[in-house]
Amino acid sequence: MQNNKGQMTVQEAGRKGGRSTSEKHGPEFYQQIGRKGGETTSEKHGPDFYHEIGTKGGHKVRDLINRGKGM
């Protein structure tokens, strides 16, 4: 888990911090910050933003399916 010098990698530090935050705050914390982020994004970009990213995602999925079918 640690390298030769006894130092943590960025990945290890992130994992450790994430676990600590999860244990300290619980799932409600993540629900609350997710809701706040969603509200902020909605206020900043409006409904057209969600339409646009939904369309892009749908096109990407369609293209991947067609590629998998050999079309």
Residue 51: strand, helix, or coil: helix
Distance in angstroms between the alpha carbons of the first and the last residue of the chain: 45
CA distances from 7 to 12, 13, 21, 55 (A): 10, 10, 21, 45
Greatest alpha-carbon span in the chain: 52
Structure tokens at 3: 């390298």
0.75 exceeded by the pTM? no
- Return the amino acid letter for 24: K
- pLDDT at residue 26 in the model: 94
- pLDDT at residue 13 in the model: 96
When pLDDT is cut at 50, 70 and 90, the band that residue 1 belongs to is low
Q: If you ran DSSP here, which 8-state letter would residue 70 be given? A: T
Average of per-residue pLDDT across 31-41? 95
